[in-house]
Amino acid sequence: MAQAAALSGMIFDAADDEREPFAAYLGDDTSHAAAQAVATPRGWSATSVRKGGLPAALRLLGVAPPARFMVVDVEGLPVEEAESGLTELARLGASVIALGSVNDVNHFRRIMRTGARDYLLKPVDADALAEALVRLEQPGDGLSPQGRVVGMIGARGGVGVTTIAINAAFIMAEKLSRRTALVDMDIYAGNIALALDLDPTRGLREAFDDPERVDQVFLQNAMAKFGKSLHVLATEEAFDDTVRMTDDKVLILADTIRANFDMAVLDVPRHFVMREPALFTRFDDIVIVAELTLQSLRDTNRLAKLMAVRTRQAKIHVIANQVPARPDVTVKEFEAGMEGKLRCVFSDDARAMAKSALQGKALALADPRHRMITDLHRLCIELAGVPEETRVKSAGLFRRKARK
């Protein structure tokens, strides 16, 4: 308690570039393993997970500001000492998750009044810790649903939008611990269910036929689960079966998914640009997938300009996919033509794609070390809404992994 009081005169600049994105101070092996499992997929250093609990965290305040996100063990400490130390960490700008073994509502309230963002009862596993950390990474109070919606669309046909959408959704669900919805908006010729070896459902059709039914229970029954946290909504309707879609129906679906998931990835056919333009107003990010050709450059520019007008709040990312060794248009020429930078450039690797398709797996599952997955992982961290300041030091780690 005295130690925290002695530090109370310290002031650190919350925007200090030297502030670490994450640190954990833990007193047992189970919590230590859980923190390591959560930190590694985000690119945070293994040395950010340390032994020692709250006293160790306070001692280090003498040499460096606290990390932006902190997991701190308060087990065994008098509640007054825990209150004093956690208050100091919160005052200095840290978002803190406290761990302890006292299962008492009054103890919980006292911990939360310090400014801590959450209190988890030990033993803590990786899933519980990851779920709490996701709430810290999201904007707002961390309690209300703040799901993000990402739209993925091709500048032209056959550029591999579905492959990008599947792998991005898988990374968000399995690596970034987001409860993720993957929706194939092409109800006639979508490929997501086929690529993942899932039975298509009639859920999407029913959502458009009777939009008033669309709620949490409907989504739970209509979506197929893939892995731990990925939920897929995909159908394959007959070509001669007319499904009537309107902006209102599409918006009800998008808003309900946002309210029930941390992340939603929508694989959107290009004709939605004309037929359901209101959908694009719901996107937090729009990913345009292109190929390095003159025709694709033209259509990328047309799409990007239209999206910028229709959805001013969304950030637009352009990806070059299936890039051959000698493309028609070089990366430098393409970027000059679009007057901007390509967010990612993925080389053509038909063999790896075919292998994962035959296995009915996302490439991120079949070959997690593939260069495309390494680069896409970095983009997914941004799409998932992870605060920029916590991404500063992780990019270098991913680049080192890619060179191995």
| pLDDT over threshold 70, residue 343 | yes
Specify whether the CB–CB gap between 316 and 290 falls below 8 A.
Answer: no
Q: 366 phi and psi, to 5 degrees?
A: -70, -35
Encode pLDDT of 236-245 as tens digits: 888 888 888 8
- Give the whole-angstrom CA distance, residue 121 versus residue 112: 13
Q: What is the set of domains in the chain, with CATH numbers?
A: 22-137 (3.40.50.2300), 148-384 (3.40.50.300)
Strand-pair category, 148-154 with 285-290: parallel
Question: Any idea what DSSP says for residue 316?
Answer: E
- Give the whole-angstrom CA distance, residue 142 versus residue 144: 6
Give the pLDDT confidence score for residue 133 in this predicted structure: 86
Encode pLDDT of 133-143 as tens digits: 887 776 554 44
Over residues 380-394, the mean pLDDT reads: 68
- Give the whole-angstrom CA distance, residue 333 versus residue 126: 45
- Give the whole-angstrom CA distance, residue 334 versus residue 298: 10
Give the pLDDT confidence score for residue 73 in this predicted structure: 94
Encode pLDDT of 298-330 as tens digits: 999 999 999 888 887 899 999 999 999 999 999
Share of the chain above pLDDT 70, in %: 89
Sign of the C-alpha dihedral, residues 117, 169, 40, 389?
A: negative
Helix 394-403 / helix 371-383 crossing angle, nearest 10 deg = 170
Specify whether the CB–CB gap between 186 and 165 falls below 8 A.
Answer: no
Over residues 166-183, the mean pLDDT reads: 92
